[in-house]
Each structure stands twice: as C-alpha cells, then as structure tokens.
Amino acid sequence: MSATTSNLEAPAPSRINREVLVKWAPLLVLGVLLLLFPALEWLEDFREGKDHIYLLDSRFFSIRNAARIAIAAAPALMVAIGVTFIILMGSIDLSMEGTVSVCAVLFAFMFLALGGTLASWAWIAIPGALVVGAVMGFLNGLVHVKLQIPSFMASLAMGFVGTGFALLLTGGDRIRIEDELFRSLLTVRWLNFPIMVYVALAMLLLAWFIQSRTTLGRNFYAVGGGEELAKASGLNVSRVRIMGFTLAGVFFAMGALLAVGRIGIAETATGNNFMFVSITAVVVGGTALWGGIGGVWNTLIGVLIVNVINNGMVVIGLPNWIQDATLGLLVITAVVLSTDRKSVSFVK
C-alpha cells in the first residue's frame, strides 16, 4: 500500500519543478543575456588582438550603455503595461500604434497652442494627452464589447483609425517640441539616468498598485481566469473590459509623452513599432496570452529582455534581421513553455 502511494505521488515534484522553471525563465533569460553580450564583445576584441580586455570593462556593461537601454525601454514599458492589463483579461489590444501617434500629435498641438513651455499653461497638454488616450481606449473597449467584435479585430481597426487621424492632423509634417523644461525628461540626469526613466518607474509602481491592490486589478485576473465563472459570480465583465481598455489607453498616452520627450518630435510615425515590441515584451516576460497569469513585473523583465537584445546586438555589430529572428524565437519558446497552463482560447 505504501509503495502504491509513493508511486502515485512521484510525478508531483517534476510538475512543480516545471512550474518553477516557467515562472523564473524570463529572469534567467535576462541574466544569461547580460553575461552573453559582454562575452561576445570580449571574444571579438580578443580576435582583433586587443590586450587587457575584461568583461566588466566592456562597452555593454558601461553606465552610459545602461542609460541608453533604459531610455529606449521607458516608452516601450508604458505601452507594454497597457497591453498587460488587456492580456490579463484574455483579450488582445493592437491599437497602440494609432493611439500613441494621436496622443503624441494632439499633445504637441496643445503644448504649442498653450505657450510652448511648461513654465506657461502648456503643462495642461500633459493631462490633456492622458485624457485623449483614455477616450481612445474607452472607444476601443466600447466597439469590442457593445458590437461584440473580437478584441484583436476591433483594436486593430481602431489603431488604423488613430494612425489615419494623426496623419490628417499633421499632413505628414513633424511637430517639434523644443521647450528645455519638457526636454529635461531626457537631458537632466539623476545618478546617470535621465528623469524619464524615473517617471517610467513611478508609473510602473502605479500600475502594480492598480493590479494588486485595487478591485479593478483583481477583476482583470478574474475575467482572464474564466469569463463564465466571473459572470456567474456577479461580475460585470463588459464594464471591466471597457475599463481595462480605457486604462490601457492612459498608459499608451504616457508612452507617447515619453517618446516625444525622448526625441523632441511628434509625428504620425511616433507610434511605429510599438505593437511588435510591446506584445513581444509581455509574452516573453511570462504573461499568458489567454489571461489570468502574469503581471506588470513580468512585463518589466520582458521589456528589458527585448531592449537588451536590441542593444547588445548593436554593440557587437549584428544585423537587424538577427535581432528580429531572435525575438521571434523567444516568443515561440515562451508560448510553448506555458501552453499547458490553461486549455482555453488564445483570444476572447
């Protein structure tokens, strides 16, 4: 009898070990990357005959390069956090490029119209841009829920609408923001990192608070964990979804503000490439595509993985197509590792 019992309980440790592996895999990948790129850089320098080269002396490990990674990651992190809330509900939001472009362009127009400097009334353009993002997110959720259109299709269409609207507003022109106070997001540094990095970290903490300490955040997990069960427990799923898309729009707008602060220009192309980067970061970070698993800290790790890969391959001189191929393989691996967690559809 005891032998039978031990045989029945034998598979448990392997299952637990696999779950632990999946949970910590993104952090492990990030650690490997942080060691791999300096090693590759050292091998390249050694092959070229350079002497006295040490891993910790590498260009990749420099404070300057760390700041460069953080600057590139800040806007992407904001957009990816917005995507995280949507994916936690088991939905997909593909509207980020259009939303970012519209928020960036309208912010620039409002900023210049109100004096062109934060020392005047132009600061109103910042909450104004966040409101624009919230409105676009609200419309996105409304189309998805009320018209019962799959979230990926509704959001993709709204993204095209946003991009077209931004192009209509600008006529294809660039709008420059040259205010020194606003550009201090990039130019003023604390402990070798620009202010925009600290703004992004503050927004990350806010997102974590919403996710873990509010009823809305817990409802995201409830909807993603089982929509029918959530409905049976009395949860207004439609309202939660609309609020989730609205909240995502606010973070998309924050990403737009940091993107404009980074380059000093607002244009239709401001939102370009955010779709690939944000969704890749969320998935690679360990948030399950079908909802209910993951969170904003996973997304932070995912954003760092994506940006470390992009930066490291530039440092060692590899072409762009290798970067994209590597990220694609990471996405496939991340999904394969977690496919047995839930047996539900990918998109709701």
- Give tens-digit pLDDT for 127-157: 999 999 999 999 999 999 999 999 989 999 9
Task: Supply 266's token pair.
Answer: 């607002």
Range name among 109-118, 152-161, 304-313, 322-331 with the lowest pLDDT average: 322-331
Q: Within 13 Å of residue 25, how many CA atoms lie on the same side as its CB? A: 21
Q: How confident is the model at residue 346 (pLDDT cuts 50, 70, 90)?
A: very low
- Mean pLDDT of all residues in 319-324: 76
Q: How confident is the model at residue 97 (pLDDT cuts 50, 70, 90)?
A: very high
Element at 174 (helix H, strand E): none
Please give the share of the chain, as a percent, with pLDDT higher than 90. 59
Structural contact between residues 220 and 85, judged by C-beta atoms closer than 8 angstroms: yes
- Amino acid identity of residue 77, one-letter, is L
Determine the pLDDT at residue 266: 94
- Mean pLDDT of all residues in 313-334: 78
Higher-pLDDT residue of 242 and 286 is 242
Strands 175-176 and 189-190: unpaired
CA–CA separation, 276 and 302 (whole Å) = 12
Determine the pLDDT at residue 4: 46
Q: Which residue has the tokens 């400097």?
A: 117
Q: Does the structure show a pLDDT above 70 at 53?
A: no
- Mean pLDDT of all residues in 85-106: 95
CA–CA separation, 161 and 163 (whole Å) = 6
Nearest to 258 by CA among 184, 192, 168: 184
Q: Within 13 Å of residue 3, how many CA atoms lie on the same side as its CB? A: 0
Determine the pLDDT at residue 54: 55
Q: Does the structure show a pLDDT above 50 at 6?
A: no
- Mean pLDDT of all residues in 68-93: 95
Determine the pLDDT at residue 113: 95
pLDDT in tens, 233-249: 889 999 999 999 999 99
- Mean pLDDT of all residues in 55-66: 76
CA–CA separation, 31 and 52 (whole Å) = 25
Q: Within 13 Å of residue 341, how many CA atoms lie on the same side as its CB? A: 25
Q: How confident is the model at residue 60 (pLDDT cuts 50, 70, 90)?
A: confident
Determine the pLDDT at residue 51: 55
Max CA-CA distance within the chain?
83
Determine the pLDDT at residue 125: 96
Spell out the long-range contacts of 312-321 with Cβ–Cβ below 8 A and sequence spacing 24 or more: 312/33, 312/36, 312/37, 312/40, 312/60, 313/37, 315/37, 315/41, 315/59, 315/60, 315/65, 316/37, 316/40, 316/41, 316/44, 317/44
Q: Does the structure show a pLDDT above 50 at 288?
A: yes
DSSP 124: G
Q: How confident is the model at residue 210 (pLDDT cuts 50, 70, 90)?
A: very high
Task: Supply 99's token pair.
Answer: 């939303």
Which residues make beta-bridge pairs with 194?
189
Task: Supply 23's token pair.
Answer: 């949970």
Sign of CA dihedral 318, 320, 321, 324: positive
Determine the pLDDT at residue 95: 94
Considering the chain, what is the average pLDDT of its residues?
86
Determine the pLDDT at residue 2: 46
Q: Does the structure show a pLDDT above 80 at 56?
A: no
Q: Which domains occur in the chain, in start order?
A: 59-337 (1.10.3470)
Q: In angstroms, what CA-CA distances link 146 with 154, 239, 299?
A: 11, 10, 29
